[in-house]
Amino acid sequence: MHLANSLTRTHYFMNVELKLIICRDICIILKLNYVFAASCSQLRTEADSRDIIGHPHDDKTRSYLCTICHKRFTAKSQLTNHSKRHTGENEYLCTQCEKRFSSQPGLRNHMNIHAAKYKCTECGKCFGNSSHFARHKRTHTGEKPYECTVCSKRFTTSGYLVVHSRIHSGEKPYKCHVCEKAFSRSSHLHSHMRVHTGDKPYKCSLCNESFSHSSGLQLHKRHVHSNRRPYDCPYCGKLFKTNSHLKLHVRIHTGAKPYSCRHCSQRFTWLRQLKTHLLKSHNEGTWLTCNICQKKFCVNGDLKTHLLRHSNVKAYVCNRCPKRFCTASDLKSHQLVHSHCKQFCCGLCGKDFKRKRSVIRHFKTCSDKNTLSSSPPSL
């Protein structure tokens, strides 16, 4: 079955803060020029002749472009209604839950959920329209009606098949107008554009931190606001919140030094050590200078942390007391006050400590005492 024949009128919703509707079935793209507006109120209503796309679902010319999310429309009225999603003009109110919508069709779909018009008999979940319901039912039946003609892999939706097919064709139809980087998925381009716009729509509900990607927010919550540590070191038993942190820690035990200097034979455990070495020993790279106190740094992360202390913005809040901190590491250090966990142990006397610096300081004293006690008495 040819790919073009397998397309259906299936659309998906990206659950970002503005809930932008993005068609993922686009496979007939002539040329797309991305135009970003300075604010949500700036909407270009007509596209240039070179800027018009043929949509795979029909033969209509979609000349009206939303400059915020780049969705196209056949009529100016459709663009006007769509733009309300970005400007926040949600005038259609649900009488049951007071949720607001920018269009009547959006409200109608939502009301179908309250009315349980499309209700799954397997799990009880309700849907706003028949296409979403049909797609959901396949999660229970295991049906995958869309097959790749190259590798025979099957998919539950035509959209997934379209995206998968680009692995074989190498097609990357979504191009950034700022840096020319190309992507196989429109959602990847939208995420990438935040690098240039600085947009951070994902906000932490526990502090003031914002993130450009939902994955960044999830990692932040796990690192900063959660005490769960499911990953343990097989060498010393130390616990970690993420598998990546565990892998980095294990290098301490294995002695692995994956970062090598191209100018000399030195190797390093951490990338920041290599960057510091290149700057100090080979004058390679750029020193990063604080514009307030002129202090110099080798690593951008260290400069950012330093600038937070100047700004006195304390976005990290202790969940056990009212204290606030500039950085996640400061908060982590403070939280040991509330914890009874002592994960650092002196190898000479077996005494336990909460903090690494405490056991290092103790170890020096302890080793001096052992040296004195083991030395022969003077005659």
The pTM (predicted TM-score) of the whole model is: 0.41
pLDDT at 30: 25
- C-alpha separations of 83 from 42, 103, 198 in Å: 10, 10, 21
- Which pLDDT score, from 0 to 100, does residue 142 have? 85
Structure confidence at residue 7 (pLDDT):
35
Angle ∠(58,47,179) on CA atoms, nearest 5:
105
Dihedral of the CA atoms 71, 73, 79, 84 (nearest 10)? -40
Q: What pLDDT score does 37 carry?
A: 30
- In which domain, by residue range, is 66 found? 4-199
Interatomic CA distance for residues 182 and 213, integer angstroms: 18
pLDDT averaged per 10 residues in sequence order, the chain, 379 residues: 36 30 30 30 33 41 73 80 69 80 82 88 87 86 88 87 88 85 84 84 82 84 80 85 87 90 91 90 89 89 85 83 85 84 80 83 81 61
In this structure, are 138 and 194 located in the same domain? yes
Are residues 130 and 234 located together in one domain of the fold? no
The reported pLDDT for the residue numbered 42 is 35
pLDDT of residue 85: 67
Task: Provide the 10 A C-beta neighbour count for residue 220.
Answer: 20
Same-domain status, 61 and 144? yes
Verify that 133 and 168 share a domain, yes or no.
yes
Same domain? For 85 and 115 the reply is yes
pLDDT at residue 263, rounded to an integer? 92
Give the CA dihedral 138, 139, 145, 148, nearest 10 degrees. Answer: 160
Q: Are residues 42 and 85 in the same domain?
A: yes
64 domain-assigned: yes
Predicted local confidence at residue 336, as pLDDT: 84
Residue 31 and residue 117 share a domain: yes
**pLDDT for residue 23:** 34
